[in-house]
Structure 1
């Protein structure tokens, strides 16, 4: 019976679920997107709408299994811990979850403590993505987050006490005034926290306030060298992990899993059909379980568009993507090759060193 069940699950198509919780204490510096700072009532109203949308996904996930869930957006950990726990329980109960599916939750350090971990624990998160940004004091001041270095250290201690050891720490490089020395200090202090993964990303060029592109590239190379020396492997662009610390969500998306997005402005691509949810808070909360009310910009992707999407996702992985798998995107890939961003060797397209940084800078990647 167990063998038959395993065979049936293996025949299902992989899917990922991203839940957008856009609330935060204050809109973060050097970040883009829509952030909400509503009160407790607004947060409860939104989470209730999200749960209704989750419960309505039966048709979308027909013939599929969810291999990874990521609850992110703004700072999901600022909403009610009990309600977050309830959301995770609902996802596990209502959706076709694969055995051992990852349940990742993004959190900011000052929200991690006994009350939050008790509430989240009801939903059994298997991974916590701790958004740190910086640990060097001057760089942390530049980010101006609602937490301090002591909050970062205490968060890791609390997570360990509650047995939530699969922790990813995310850092930002290229901040105004950041130096190689301050960046190295942040990296070393992050490693002292003993995370399973360290994820690094640059200040967006859209801000026009960070370091120049070449200086940011130098900091990326510093991170690659220093983290590599400490045994963390860059399995995907900007993501350095120990053997058991790789993000199942990132790897599933890069490997071709369908993407289902839930929440305000969330984007989905399932069976070649792409769409996004409304950005209107009231419209979403009133009709989250009714696609006719909340879905925007639905479109069926043609073969070339699908191949380009597959290529852009898959290229973030260190092993790249099989050329045959993205043959319909050869025109765009050849253009990237002419720019020195990708190379095709042994039947696989891979990012070059220049391409990995370009992928980080979001100048051409999806």
Structure 2
């Protein structure tokens, strides 16, 4: 009996939502916490996933990423539903990691059971850059600004390859010492991967000053045993983000949701960025596809 080899791919579910968009963020995001809208969006992604499953039956998913914004803004039970749907409709490798970009405030007793049940294996926590005083209260309940409440138990969890921080560099209103302290805190906690994201908008430092911060971060992270495996992405050996690593190495990407970009068989297909169009027609490929162009070869 002849066995058909499945085509390896990685998968991304795009959640372009955020509770409150900070002034330094240049990404196109939908601001606010509209529970009904978020649930409708999950149902729309579910329809898109089902509608495309038969055409992608020859693919095997090697890694899943929940991103595009703060994916944790979605209700935990809805995320669990989507990941169960993916595993029932698609071939997913047994060891495929699931990474979620999350606001640390959502790492709590209400959501964690759903994340564990959904087999979320990695977290990119949006800590950005914090001044030293903020780190003194990192493990305590703090309602000021967007300061997170991260439980002591979660940071000391048995799985030490799951915790990642998203740090912001090149921000005018964060001192050089504040950014340096942010990076040093990474080295003092059970953090195994780090994404350095440049500040955007009016609060952005000039290129030279931003690069100086990036260079200092590189030195501190290297001294702590982190390795830069992709630009501005660092990890302890063996803890690299399989989604980004595979995509950078040319593996095809299946992407679903608003403004999602799929790269498959030498073509890049872009989903609509119009929320109403996506919600109304997510199961109709022709209605939500805005462009299909050849993928550019890597230089």
Q: Is this a same-fold pair by TM over 0.5?
A: yes
Which one of 42, 49, 52 corresponds to residue 57 of structure 1?
A: 52
The equivalent position to 1:259 in structure 2, one of 249, 253, 276, is 253
Q: TM-score, normalised by structure 1?
A: 0.73
Instruction: Supply the distance in 2 between the matched residues of 1:268 and 1:19 (Cα, whole angstroms).
Output: 11
Q: 2:98 aligns with which of 99, 103, 108?
A: 103
The answer to whether the Cα contact below 8 Å between 2:62 and 2:97 also exists between their aligned partners in 1 is yes
* Contact 2:227 2:236 (8 Å CA) reproduced: yes
Give the drift of 1:229.
0.3
1:258-289, CA deviations, whole angstroms, 9 ceiling, x for partnerless residues? 11211011111111122211112121111111
Residues 134 and 147 of structure 2 are in contact (CA less than 8 Å); yes or no, is this contact kept in structure 1?
no
Q: Please list the CA deviations of residues 44-79 of structure 1 after superposition, one character each: whole Å capped at 9, or x if unmatched.
A: 111011111112222442422111110012211112
Task: State the secondary structure of the residue aligned to 1:115.
Answer: coil
Which structure has the larger Rg over C-alpha atoms?
1
**What are the residue-to-residue correspondences of 1:154-169 with 2, within 5 Å?**
154=151, 157-158=153-154, 160-161=156-157, 163=159, 165-169=161-165
Superposition RMSD in Å: 2.4
How do 1:1-366 residues align onto structure 2 when only pairs under 5 Å count? 11-36=5-30, 37-136=32-131, 147-148=146-147, 151=149, 153-154=150-151, 157-158=153-154, 160-161=156-157, 163=159, 165-204=161-200, 207-299=201-293, 301=294, 306-307=296-297, 310-311=298-299
Conservation of the 8 A alpha-carbon contact between 1:131 and 1:171: yes
Is 1:135–1:190's contact at 8 Å kept on the other side of the alignment? no
Unaligned runs of 5+ in 1: 312-366
Mapped to 2, the partners of 1:275 and 1:47 lie a distance apart of: 21
Q: CA offsets, 1:111-158, max 9 Å, x none?
A: 111111012222111111111102325899xxx995315x2x42x633
Contact 2:173 2:203 in 1 (8 A): no
Displaced runs of 4 or more, over 6 A: none
Asked if the contact 2:10/2:253 (under 8 Å) is kept, the reply is yes
Unmatched runs of 5 consecutive residues or more in structure 2: 136-142
Q: Quote the offset at 1:254 in angstroms.
A: 1.0
Q: Counterpart in 1 of 2:138?
A: none
How many residues are treated as equivalent by the alignment?
291
CA contact (8 A) 1:23 1:74 kept: yes
TM-superposition CA deviations, 1:272-314 (whole Å, max 9, x none): 1222111121211111111011111122x1xxx531xx33xxx
1:101-120 deviations in Å (ceiling 9; x for gaps): 11111111111111110122
Deviation at 1:208, TM superposition (A): 4.3
Structure 1 pair 170/95, CA: closer, same or farther in 2 (3 Å)? same
Counterparts of 1:145 and 1:75 in 2: how far apart (Å)?
Answer: 19
Structure having the higher helix fraction is 1
Q: Secondary structure at the match of 1:114?
A: coil
